[in-house]
Amino acid sequence: MNPFAAGGWGYGSGMAPSIFGALPTVTISNAKTVQPDSTLYKFTECNTTILNCSIAGPQGRVVYRVATDSGALSSTMLKDNDNRNVAMVNWQPNANVEIRGVASRQRVRDWLHLSADQSKRVMNVAGVPYAWSPAEGYICLYKLQSTAPRVLARIGRAQDVTLEMTQEGMQLGLLEACLVATVLLTCGHNID
């Protein structure tokens, strides 16, 4: 079941909605940052899909690339500036993900699983559960087991898909996991 399909988020016009439909099609014109010290990452140079793009960080400098095998779409790689593989998603036969130093190879639906009430996606990083949940036209990340949850990152969409990371989220080592989650949540492929 796709709990947020009514939001209609997909990547580009005419494309399939995001995997769990949690990225509503909301144009964010004057989006404010989560916190003044947040860092914005833009997924740019997408050729019809986020599965082949550049990720620009501060000052618009490309810091990561997403590359997918042309052909059968068998795997997607997240590479850093030194062309090292940071993460890999194998799409066939069932989507699985591996993130260097963050997640050993496992099914995407296990790493980014739908909560029992189907209101959020939960991912584990270093044994800590975090939840992605829609709020105010964004998908926001927060610690799942927190008495006063704070937004640590958020995915948005204006002209480009964006990932905004708070300093706290960066200090917790969530950047690469959040980059991979952004790709998975906006690519239009089934992860369940």
- Domains detected in the chain: 5-24+35-186 (2.40.160)
Residues 93-140 have pLDDT tens digits of: 889 999 999 999 999 999 999 999 989 999 999 889 999 999 888 999
What band does 172 get if pLDDT is binned at 50, 70 and 90? Answer: very high
Give the C-alpha distances (Å, rounded to integers) separating 85 from 63, 81, 98, 163, 187.
13, 10, 10, 20, 19
Q: Round to whole Å and give the CA distance between 151 and 171.
A: 14
* pLDDT band for position 71 (cuts 50, 70, 90): low
Least trusted range by pLDDT, from 23-32, 147-156, 175-184: 23-32
Give every CB contact of residue 168 below 8 A, 6+ residues apart in sequence: 150, 152
